Amino acid sequence: MSDWSGRRLHVVGIAGAGMSAYAIVCRALGAAVTGSDRAESPYLERVRAAGIEAAIGHAAANVPAGEGVEVVVSTAIPASNPELEAARERGLRVLSRADLLAELTRLKRTIAVAGAHGKTTTSSMVAHALLGCGLDPAYVIGGTLSTTQTNAAWGSGEWLVVEADESDRSFLAIDVDVAVVTNVELDHHTEWPSLAALRDAFRQFLDGAPLAVLPPELLPLRGAGRSVEFGGWAGPELAVPGGHNRSNAAAALEAAVLAGAPREQAAAALATFGGAGRRFETLGRTASGAVVVDDYAHHPTEVAATIAAARELGFGRVVAIFQPHLYSRTQHLFRRFGEALAAADLPAVLEVYPARERAGDFPGVSGRLIAEAAADAGGGKRVLWLPDFDAAERVLRAELREGDVLLVLGAGDVDALGRRLLS
C-alpha cells in the first residue's frame, strides 16, 4: 500500500541528511510528519518546504499528542533522548531507520547501493541516470542530488534508489531487487569485529537480491543469482574528477541498465552528473583566491581518493584540513589517516568530531595522533595541528593563496569551517 495518509510519524534527528530524506518521502506518501533535532541544518529547509514541522531541541513535548503516533529514530539517537523516553512511556510504536527503510523498499522495485565508500555518489548517479532516461525514480539519498537540489523524492516510476548502510546492519533488513556493492572495507569498528564478519554480512546482503552489480574482486561473495561485473569507466568524459568517481559511474551505469535504461542514453546522462552534496562539492573562493572544496571523506581510502582527484584538476597546491569522525575510528586508523593526508602539500588536522561517542571512553585518542602520523609519513613535512575552528580559520586565512585548493574533509560539521573561510 503506497497511501500513508492515515499515518502520523515523528522523526527524531530530522535535520540529518538521511533522516530528512525519509521524512520527505513519507510526507510525499501522504503521512503526517513532524520532527526535531538539536540544531538547524540546510536539510531542514527542504523538510519545512515539504510541509513538515521541525522543532529545534529535544523535548518530550515535541512528540505529537494522541494515539497512533510512530516515532522514528536513527542509531545516533541515545536511549536517554526525552522524545524516545516519552514514546516508550506512552506505548507508542518506535521505528528504527532500518525499519522505515524496509517498509519503503517494499513499495517499489529497489536498487540498493552498499559499500564502505561511494554509496551516496553512486546512488546519486543511478538516480541521475534514471531521471535522464525519463524513468522518474523515487530516491532516498544521504546527500543532495545536484540534478534536483534535494536528497529525496517519490517519483512516479517503478524504481526506488536507496543507500544500503552496513554501519548499523540496516542493509540486511531491506527488500532489494538490484544490489550494488562498490567495495568492502572495515570502517565501523564498534559494529563489526573483523573484516571476515563484515564480508559474511555483505554475502548475506547479496544473497537477498536476484540481481547484483559487483567489481571483479567481490564476485566470490555472490552466491546464486545473476551478477554483472563493473570495472573502469568507458563512457564519455565525466564532469566529476577522480578514479573513484569513474568506478562509481561504471557501477551506476550497470544498475541503470538493469532497471531498463538504454545503455547509451544512461552513459550520456552520467557524463552530465554534477555531483552530490558534500562529495567534492565546490563551496567557493576565499578572499585570497583559494578554491574551497567540501568532501565527506571520513576513511583513509576516501581521503586519499579525494586528494588524488584534486591533483587531477591541476591546482598549484593542495591544502587538506581533516576532521576525524569518531574516536573509535581514529584509534584504529590514525596511522592510515596520516599516510593518506601526507599526499597533500599541506595537511592540517582538527580535533575529533565525537558524534555518538565520548572522549572519556577513549583515553589518549585525539586528532593529534593523526597529525603526528601525517608528519611521520611525510618525512618531516609541515603539518598543522588546529584543534578548533577558530584556530583553523585564523591560520588558514593567513596561509591560503591564489592557486590553492583547500579540501575540507570529514563527516562531522567541518563544512561549516569551509563556509566560514568564504565569508
Of 241, 240, 296, which Cα lies nearest the Cα of 415? 296
Whether the pLDDT of residue 212 is over 70: the answer is: yes
Task: Return the pLDDT at 409.
Answer: 98
Given 34, 108, 119, 147, the catalytic residue: 119
Give exposure, 387-402, as e/b (b: 16+ Cβ within 10 Å): eebeebeeebeebbee
CA Rg value for the chain: 21
Annotated catalytic residue 103 = no
- pLDDT tens column, 237-290: 999 999 999 999 999 999 999 999 999 999 999 999 999 999 999 999 999 999
Lookup result for grid cell 593567513: 398
Amino acid, res. 384: L
Whether the pLDDT of residue 1 is over 60: the answer is: no
Instruction: Indicate the burial class of 354 (C-beta count within 10 angstroms; 0-12, 13-18, 19 or more).
Output: middle
Of 63, 85, 86, 79, which Cα lies nearest the Cα of 14? 63
CB atoms within 10 A of CB 315: 18
Of 387, 389, 393, 322, which Cα lies nearest the Cα of 359? 387
| Rounded mean pLDDT, 102-125 | 97
Task: Return the pLDDT at 228.
Answer: 97
* Lookup: cell for 26: 513519507
Given 70, 83, 163, 302, the catalytic residue: 163
Task: Return the pLDDT at 29.
Answer: 97
Lookup result for grid cell 522524545: 83
The chain-wide mean pLDDT, for the chain, equals: 96
Query: To the nearest whole percent, how much of the chain has pLDDT over 90?
Result: 94
Helix, strand, or coil (residue 201): helix
| Cβ neighbours of residue 51 closer than 8 Å, sequence gap 6 or more | 27
Annotated catalytic residue 119 = yes
Query: To the nearest whole percent, how much of the chain has pLDDT over 70?
Result: 100
Domains, the chain, with CATH or none: 8-95 (3.40.50.720), 108-270 (3.40.1190.10), 281-422 (3.90.190.20)
Helix, strand, or coil (residue 81): coil
- pLDDT tens column, 216-225: 999 999 988 8
Instruction: Indicate the burial class of 317 (C-beta count within 10 angstroms; 0-12, 13-18, 19 or more).
Output: middle
Whether the pLDDT of residue 380 is over 90: the answer is: no
Given 34, 105, 120, 301, the catalytic residue: 120
Of 224, 49, 83, 79, which Cα lies nearest the Cα of 153? 49
This prediction's pTM: 0.93
Cβ proximity of 66 and 45 under 8 Å: no
Annotated catalytic residue 120 = yes
- Cα 102 to its chain centre, rounded Å, is 19
- pLDDT tens column, 28-83: 999 999 999 999 998 999 999 999 999 999 999 999 999 999 999 988 899 999 99
Task: Return the pLDDT at 354.
Answer: 95
Task: Return the pLDDT at 42.
Answer: 87
